[in-house]
Amino acid sequence: MGDAVLAAEQVDVHFGGLQALTHTSVDAHRGTITGLIGPNGAGKTTLFNVITGLQTPSAGRVLLDGHDITGDGVHRRARLGLARTFQKLEAFNSLSARENVLVAAEMAKGWHAIDDAGELTDQILERVGLTNVAPYTVGTLPTGTARLVELARALASHPKVLLLDEASSGLTEDETEIVGDLLLQLVAEDDIAVLLVEHDMSFVMRVCSHIHVLDFGQIIAVGPPEDIQQNEQVRSAYLGTDS
pTM for the model: 0.87
> Rg of the Cα trace of the chain?
18
- Which helix (H) or strand (E) segment is 84 a member of? strand 82-84
* Predicted local distance difference test score (pLDDT) of residue 243: 39
Q: Which domains does the chain have, with CATH numbers?
A: 1-81+160-243 (3.40.50.300), 90-158 (no CATH)
Weakly modelled stretches of the chain, pLDDT under 70? 1-2, 87-90, 110-114, 238-243
DSSP-derived secondary structure letter, 213: E
| Residue pLDDT, tens place only, 134-175 | 999 998 988 888 888 888 988 888 889 999 988 888 788 888
* Predicted local distance difference test score (pLDDT) of residue 113: 58
Look at strands 33-37 and 193-197 and give their pairing. Answer: parallel
Q: How far is CA 135 from CA 92, 145, 155, 227, 240, in A?
A: 13, 13, 19, 45, 44
* Predicted local distance difference test score (pLDDT) of residue 147: 85
